[in-house]
């Protein structure tokens, strides 16, 4: 229960095309993340699926039923908003139970389900508090509780973690992923944070300017980006992209190499440059190396490499890990 299919979905605001021709299948029980830079249309796409906006063209199917013209309440999805959108005048109990109350469930059943959801989320002792008496993380859990209690066909998350501080974000990330697996409910999760996307998703949809750039598992996107955009967007620190003569040497318009796939040496063949900044993080060291004809190249090495700002180094890309792109930015794959 909970297969979501988009067929040729389009959304225009006036003359502006926000979403163009998106085809996508979200399998039942999958955790799909929409990721992209701000303004890429990922939130709009989510709202189209939710039914909070109308599509301009195309169809949306949930479990084979065309829901394109159905209002949100009839689609059987639930949503967690970026702002949590808790009802400020209701207690936690009221917030979580509101959807059940709207569905006309008997009081004792509502109470039972709310208690159960609250127990799952460690909210039991807060059930009678108002949202303003809760911390950010607790509010977040109430919003999630409100979403799961209705046992929907799918969860929609709209950047749910962006208002939390960094430590809490990691915890919630794990908690959401765990919960989704336990419930085995389809989830669509929107974020601009590619770390969230990589860690949580079964499948990532990379969006740019209203178009789908690539769909695939996190590792597929990391290992085999279809184009320059995905190559540059997925991975942190970002992939180094190099054009010009060096790229021509590999028979491409642009070549890309991830910071972790560059070997650093003092001597030998390769790209010779000077370290302009060295960031020592303990486990890793990030080097920003100024290479002639190439520019600033980011390198990630393990541990303390004994390298300092101003040192002269040679960088050797791992040929197996080199990505080649043609003039249009599309990946060139070895046949």
Partner 1 sequence: MAATVNTRRLARAMLTPAVVILFIWMIVPLVLTLWYSFQNYSLLNPANVGFAGWTNYQYFLTDPAFFQAFANTLILTLSVLAITVIGGILLGLLLDQFIYGQGIVRILVISPFFIMPTVAALVWKNMLMNPNYGIFAWIATSLGMQPVAWLETYPLFSIILIVAWQWLPFATLILLTALQSLDEEQKEAAGMDGAGFASLFVYITLPHLARAITVVILIETIFLLSVFAEILVTTGGGPGYATTNIAYLIYHLALLDYDVGGASAGGVVAVILANIVAIFLVRLVGKNLEA
Partner 2 sequence: MARAISPQKKWTFTILAWIVALILFFPILWTILTAFKTEGDAILFPPAFLPPHWTLENFFEVQARSDYFRHFFNSVVISVGSTLIGLLVAVPAAWSMAFAPTKRTKDILMWMLSTKMMPAVGVLVPIYLIFKNLGLLDSLAGLTGILMLINLPIMVWMLYTYFREIPVDILEASRMDGAVLWKEIVYVLLPMAIPGIASTLLLNIILAWNEAFWTLNLSAANAAPLTAFIASYSSPEGLFWAKLSAASTLAIAPILVIGWFSQKQLVRGMTFGAVK
**Contact between 81 and partner 2 (CB under 8 A)?**
yes
Residue 170 corresponds to which tokens in the numbers above? 């990691």
> What track of x and - describes contact with partner 1 for positions 197 through 236 (by CB under 8 A)?
----------------------------------------
- Which residue from 16, 38, 64, 88 is in contact with partner 2, where contact means CB under 8 A? 88
Residue 81: CB minimum distance to partner 2, A: 5
Taking the least distance from each CB to partner 2, the nearer of 86 and 190 is 86
Distance of closest approach, residue 192 Cβ to partner 2, in angstroms:
18
| Stated length of the chain | 335
* Residue closest to 149 by CA, chosen among 77, 79, 99, 75: 99
Among 15, 16, 38, 71, binds partner 2 (CB under 8 A): 71
Query: Within the chain, what is the greatest distance between any pair of CA atoms?
Result: 76
Whose CA is closest to 32, among 7, 73, 3?
3
What lies within 8 Å, CB to CB, of 14 at 6+ separation is none
Selected range binding partner 2 among 48-56, 160-168, 190-198, 256-264, rule: CB under 8 A: 48-56
Total residues interacting with partner 2, rule: CB under 8 A: 23
Within residues 115-174, the interface with partner 2 by CB under 8 A covers: 146, 150
In the region spanning residues 30 to 59, those forming contacts with partner 1, defined by CB under 8 A, are: 51-54
Among the listed residues 2, 41, 99, 317, the single contact to partner 2 using CB under 8 A: 99
Instruction: Verify binding: residue 52, partner 2, rule CB under 8 A.
Output: yes
Residue 76 or 218: which CB sits closer to partner 2?
76
Residue 234 DSSP label: S
With CB under 8 A as the contact rule, the residue among 15, 16, 38, 71 that binds partner 1 is: 71
72 near partner 2, rule: CB under 8 A: yes
- 149-186 in b/e form (b: 16+ CB < 10 A) is bbebbbbbbbbbbeebeeeebeebbebbbebbeeeebb
Nearer to partner 1, 64 or 71 (CB): 71
Token output for 1: 């229960």
Nearer to partner 1, 71 or 282 (CB): 71
Torsion sign, CA atoms 232, 233, 234, 238: positive
- Angle value at C-alpha 12, between 9 and 15, nearest 5 degrees: 145
Q: Which is nearer to partner 1, 52 or 168 (CB)?
A: 52
Nearer to partner 1, 51 or 152 (CB): 51
**Residue 229 and residue 208 in contact, taking contact as beta carbons nearer than 8 Å:** yes
- Identity of the residue, 179 or 255, whose beta carbon is nearer to partner 2 in the bound complex: 179
Instruction: Give dist(CA 49, CA 2) in Å, integer.
Output: 12
The set of residues, in sequence order, having a beta carbon less than 8 Å from that of 251 and lying 6+ positions away, is 324, 332
Which listed option, partner 1, partner 2, none, makes contact with residue 13 (CB within 5 to 8 Å by class)?
Answer: partner 1
CA 194 to CA 192: how far, in whole Å? 6
Interacting residues toward partner 1 by CB under 8 A: 13, 51-54, 71
Interacting residues toward partner 2 by CB under 8 A: 50-52, 71-73, 77-79, 81-83, 85-89, 98-99, 102-103, 146, 150
């Amino acid at each position: 229960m909970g297969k979501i299919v988009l067929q040729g979905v389009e959304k225009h605001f006036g003359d502006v095309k926000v979403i163009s021709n998106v085809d996508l299948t979200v399998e039942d029980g999958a955790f799909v993340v929409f990721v992209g830079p701000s303004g890429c249309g990922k939130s709009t796409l989510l709202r189209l699926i939710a039914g909070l906006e109308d599509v301009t063209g195309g169809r949306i199917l949930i479990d084979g039923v065309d829901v394109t013209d159905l209002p949100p309440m009839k689609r059987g999805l639930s949503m967690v908003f970026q702002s949590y959108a808790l009802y400020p005048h209701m207690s936690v109990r009221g917030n979580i139970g509101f959807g059940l109350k709207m569905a006309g469930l008997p009081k004792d059943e509502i109470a039972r389900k709310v208690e159960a959801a609250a127990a799952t989320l460690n909210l039991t002792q807060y059930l009678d508090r108002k949202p303003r008496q809760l911390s950010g993380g607790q509010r977040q859990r109430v919003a999630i509780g409100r979403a799961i209690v209705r046992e929907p066909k799918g969860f929609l998350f709209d950047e749910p973690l962006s208002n939390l501080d960094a430590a809490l974000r990691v915890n919630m990330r794990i908690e959401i992923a765990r919960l989704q697996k336990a419930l085995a409910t389809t989830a669509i999760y929107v974020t601009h944070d590619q770390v969230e996307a990589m860690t949580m998703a079964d499948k990532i949809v990379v969006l740019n300017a209203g178009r789908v750039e690539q769909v695939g598992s996190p590792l597929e996107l990391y290992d085999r980006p279809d184009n320059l955009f995905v190559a540059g967007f997925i991975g942190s620190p970002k992939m180094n992209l190099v054009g010009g003569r060096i790229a021509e040497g590999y028979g491409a318009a642009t070549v890309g190499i991830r910071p972790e796939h560059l070997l650093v040496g003092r001597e030998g063949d390769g790209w010779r440059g000077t370290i302009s900044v060295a960031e020592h993080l303990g486990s890793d060291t990030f080097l920003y190396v100024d290479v002639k004809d190439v520019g600033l190249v980011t390198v990630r090495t393990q541990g303390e490499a004994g390298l300092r700002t101003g040192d002269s180094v040679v960088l050797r890309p791992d040929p197996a890990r080199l990505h080649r792109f043609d003039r249009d930015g599309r990946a060139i794959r070895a046949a």
